[in-house]
Structure 1
């Protein structure tokens, strides 16, 4: 009925049409009923309006859920290659993430543990950490490129050179943090002395920017203890085990 009343009119803009629709709807709702007292407006104000609840103060946001994310030993969960802190007593626990356009929330069941602003688009290896999530507050610091360089300096000159080259190979230092830490964490499996020796062997090779994939084989095969690398000096030991030549596989020809 409202549309029919506007059918013969012409509107130059959408706001003009919207205002005309509002006007006609208001008149239609205020029109008295034919067979009963009142109008649609009076019924709404007297019976329906008192039952309405106010709109939420926070606008609804579309979100996505990720389930069963494990809290790492460093007290963070990973989302899109960035790290978000969780209260430390939840380390090792599986939690659920609710992500909106601006926020990441961490839940354990129906309990919200913490929330963070999302890292900007294109940023990786960034740590978002609340001091209250850590065991003793700000005494625990997140790993960053500067701390990685200091760690490398404690191991030795060769390791420092490799870490610096990793950071020089990327546009932003944070993009090289993961690769640098992979090299430094070799000291958890091997002694710092061995890692430094392996770093020297890797630097003597033709690889411009040695990384974990270059150092780990040197350490696994004990080349750092023999003082040579696989690229420029062949080993002089006999191969271990039994070697069967072509005569063996040829079989009995008689």
Structure 2
């Protein structure tokens, strides 16, 4: 990882990584490859079709090293993976100390004298492959749904389409390549739960988040029969949040009809 130049990653020109070739010599990478390059400040340059020399030197070296390491381990047996890893590391160290055939020094000496001083640290967090969900609409309650749970989005984007970037632990919300907010993912067995960032919601009593206390207070203002109905709705569901929509649907009748009629 060199500070003086942009690191280059040269994979195969695989269809899972390269979306299209709009012009000669230009490639369009998929989201995962672009994120990988941006995370490590690197350039991804897939080998060109029908141009085997783009990767020939690298692949030949890898093949030679693998053959050299395997030859030294062929007659040994290992009981655990850590033992095998230690043996491979030992063989790799020996390979790097082998003198060059046509020049002075070894791979290790070249690294220590020429390359080590140019190294810069890797990012503090390793790259993590993500999944993109495109065009998810923000609901009227200011949340998007993912895996039967609700995650807040800044209220200015209610009714708009957003994109979700999901890793093993985090859900991020984007619109036009701008990150709007992020949340820790709820567990895989959790359903109908809300993750709400205070900064995503507008201020004021009008926009206060609905909960059982607020819903029951509204029911009490309508009348005792409404309280009975709302209580039965909540008793009929395993999780209280599952009854919010049904209870609010009944309560909203009081906006069209008198409390006595409701």
TM-score tier, shorter chain, comes to: 0.5 to 0.7
Distance 1:176 1:122, change over 3 A: farther
Residue in structure 2 matched with residue 150 of structure 1 by the alignment: 217
For residues 54 and 137 of structure 1, the distance between their equivalents in structure 2, rounded to whole angstroms, comes to 46
Distance 1:67 1:17, change over 3 A: closer
1:70-219, aligned counterparts within 5 Å?
A: 70-136=137-203, 140-188=207-255, 190-193=256-259, 196=262
1:163 CA displacement: 1.1
* Matched pairs, number: 195
Where 2:259 maps in the other structure, the secondary structure is helix
1:63 CA displacement: 1.9
Report the structure number with the largest CA radius of gyration.
1
Distance 1:181 1:2, change over 3 A: same
For residues 182 and 43 of structure 1, the distance between their equivalents in structure 2, rounded to whole angstroms, comes to 73
Does the CA contact (< 8 Å) of 1:131 and 1:138 recur in 2? no
Distance 1:11 1:143, change over 3 A: same
1:13 CA displacement: 3.2
Bigger RCO (CA 8 Å, 6+ sep): 2
1:126 CA displacement: 2.8
For residues 204 and 104 of structure 2, the distance between their equivalents in structure 1, rounded to whole angstroms, comes to 69
Where 1:186 maps in the other structure, the secondary structure is helix
Task: Please tell me whether residue 16 in structure 1 is matched to residue 83 in structure 2.
Answer: yes
TM-score, with length taken from structure 1: 0.67
TM-score, with length taken from structure 2: 0.65
Distance 1:110 1:46, change over 3 A: farther
Residue in structure 2 matched with residue 211 of structure 1 by the alignment: none
**How well do the aligned residues superpose, as a CA RMSD in angstroms?**
2.5
Does the CA contact (< 8 Å) of 1:97 and 1:106 recur in 2? yes
For residues 179 and 48 of structure 1, the distance between their equivalents in structure 2, rounded to whole angstroms, comes to 66
Task: Please tell me whether residue 30 in structure 1 is matched to residue 97 in structure 2.
Answer: yes
For residues 196 and 224 of structure 2, the distance between their equivalents in structure 1, rounded to whole angstroms, comes to 31
Does the CA contact (< 8 Å) of 1:166 and 1:179 recur in 2? yes
For residues 121 and 186 of structure 1, the distance between their equivalents in structure 2, rounded to whole angstroms, comes to 36
